[in-house]
Amino acid sequence: MASSGEGKGSASAAAGYKYASYSGYEAAEERRWWPWLVPTVFVACIVVFIVEMFVNNCPRHGSPVGDACVAGFLHQFAFQPLRENPLLGPSSATLEKMGALDWAKVVHQHQVWRLISCIWLHAGLIHLIVNMLSLLFIGIRLEQQFGFVRIGIIYLLSGFGGSVLSVLFLRHKYISVGASGALFGLLGSMLSELIMNWTIYSNKVSRRETTHTVYFYSSCSMQVSVCTLLQAAAIITLLFIIAINLAIGILPHADNFAHVGGFMTGFLLGFVLLARPQFGWMERHELPQTNQPRKYKAYQYVLWTVALLLLLVGFVIALVMLFKGKNGNDICHWCQYLNCVPTSRWKCNT
């Protein structure tokens, strides 16, 4: 079970949490972390994209469609023609050279590193801007609340999980790049964190001291319905955002398998890494040794165990299928519609 980095004793508890007084009561406020990992990832992705364009060198290498490079005034950093790459970026050959996800290279040439390298690459300037804005919007808040270690693990493993599912279903048809799987993992972890800590958010714990005993009671006792409604509204809003993004993924040229794989991985990791200790445990140093509360509630331990088992089993099955050269579409014939739904306006095999 993940902890929030608290130590033992009153000194460490005071360091990990601040106490603020409201109308004679004290409420514990969790520690806030200074976010540096998310901004670092933001800068790294921008630097990698600049390197992509430097290596691409459209004026020198040209384009198979024969059109002129876009934004030629950028010289070596000019974009490929819009007919080749409408996202304002490099050629597919450049992306493949720099580590794009490619089924044949992962399975037959054992270039497993592509499962990670592809999440640092972006297909174009538009792709980069959308993903980086999403990263700042989602990642900063999560890192402030849970620290760089746990958010870094969720980001990388979600990106890896998205890559695995993507390569299982897309196989040799396409190459895939982008941080979308990792970003969907952060969204998934936000959802599971709300579910995992539901009762903790719905009970703001206050304390009242008598001669030698500390009594804990809920400051939300008169407002339980309000607290519950606010939590439900937060979950509904988050589900709406996730649904909209997944719906966009069924359009052509979007890798929705990476989105789904990243979301599932992040959702399970949220249960494993983002559990919050109950309030009684935060003030355990003021309780008698015979009345020490558990750090986590029973349902949190159950969710933690189930999520960890599902995560491990899922990764093992997916990786075994991948390196045996299995095609996910042979097992799940309808799964192709998770990635693209053909209509009269577009086809999915282009």
Active site amino acids: 180, 259
Give the pair of three-digit tokens for residue 283.
Answer: 């003030």
- Which residues share a beta bridge with 29? 18
Q: Give CA–CA dist 17/285, Å, rounded.
A: 13
Q: Give CA–CA dist 10/274, Å, rounded.
A: 23
Torsion, CA 83, CA 130, CA 135, CA 97, rounded to 10 = 10
Which amino acid belongs to residue 69?
Answer: C
Q: Is 349 exposed, middle or buried (0-12, 13-18, 19+ CB in 10 A)?
A: exposed
